Chain A
Amino acid sequence: MLNTEKFSSMLKNKRGDRGLRVIAQEIGGVSASTLSRIEQGNLPDVETFIRICKWLGVSTEEFTVKTDSEVQESSKKELLLTQLRADRTLPQETVLALAQMISLAYNNIK
């Protein structure tokens, strides 16, 4: 799982009192509204996550948290998901539910 609290607070801290638009331009490829949603705890898409990590000067692993074994077991080194059609940011509870659903579908759909 992503540690969204740590991610959004590092983003907010580095932003300081500068405007979201200024920071969005600095990061590149992301809108001010997306940044606002991320600061509120929503999860970004992969490209946005990578861009923000680069801007923060940290590795993506800084924010990954090992979750329960069921998700780990089924995904291992493989990318199970070929495509996900969704908004640029998603609420954390939706991402958690999607992760659970994907893991169960992977193992149980016959």
Chain B
Amino acid sequence: MDKPVSFKRGFKSDSEKKALLYRDQLNIKSTDPLPAMLLADFLNIRVAIPAEVPGLNQQMVSTLNKCNKWSALTMDCLSGIRLIIHNPSHSRARQESNIMHEIAHILCNHSTPDDHFNVEIPLRSYNSQQEKEAEWLGGCLQLPREALLWALKNNMKESEISDYYNASQVMVKFRINKTGIVHQLNSYKNFRFQ
């Protein structure tokens, strides 16, 4: 069984700050969506799909596009380019989440442990601490607390928030639950009417 994951002190608030900082640096309002491709470009991260990899034959492209069991990978190229390749067969919202999740891994400086054996094939290596950190940061980047608060104050439904921020409804629910925003809004309402 994996040990329960706990975040480093300050990780959650730093993640929220990063989400707002990048929006500010890209001249995007704190309550606006931040497209993953725009952020990747800003961070000098190349994003591609299998069909865009030079030399990959059509059969391999087709095999990868037909398989929904892989989402994305991050790698460093000989040229020094940091590259994310993602699965274009996933829904738009899931692609957005996949790319943002990989960006989050990069921002957290996550890497594969050195003590793993070097097999020349891509096998998934799951580090639960790293995955939880990337999940949290990726979620913040897509849906910062400030943006969620604005959306809920403006009576946006979960499906509308999902469409507006190009996030899955699962992600929207996750962020609403984990940020405690509904509780905050209810307190605000109580305060107003006292």
Contact = CB atoms under 8 A, between A and B. Distances in A.
A18 interface: no
Contact of A99 (B81, B121, B125): B121
A5 B119 CA distance: 17
A53 to B, nearest CB: 10
Contact of A105 (B48, B120, B123): B48
A57 B59 CA distance: 38
B60 A100 contact: yes
A90 interface: yes
Contact of A82 (B48, B70, B74): B74
Q: Is the interface of B mostly helix, strand, loop or mixed?
A: loop
Contact of A90 (B46, B69, B116, B126): B69
Contacts of A88: 124, 126
Interface string B65-98: 0010111111111110101010000000000001
Given A46-B125, A101-B85, A107-B78, A79 B116 contact: yes
Contacts of B71: 85-86
A109 B63 contact: no
Interface in A17-48: 29, 43-47
B55 interface: yes
Contacts of B48: 105, 109
A2 B121 contact: yes
A11 B63 CA distance: 27
Contacts of B67: 90-91, 94
B77 A109 contact: yes
A105 B122 contact: no
A72 B120 contact: yes
Given A46-B124, A99-B121, A83 B69 contact: no
A94 B124 CA distance: 12
Interface of B: 1, 46, 48, 50, 53-56, 60, 63-64, 67, 69-79, 81, 83, 85, 98, 101-102, 105-106, 110-112, 116-126
5 contacts: A72-B120, A84-B124, A94-B69, A97-B63, A108-B53
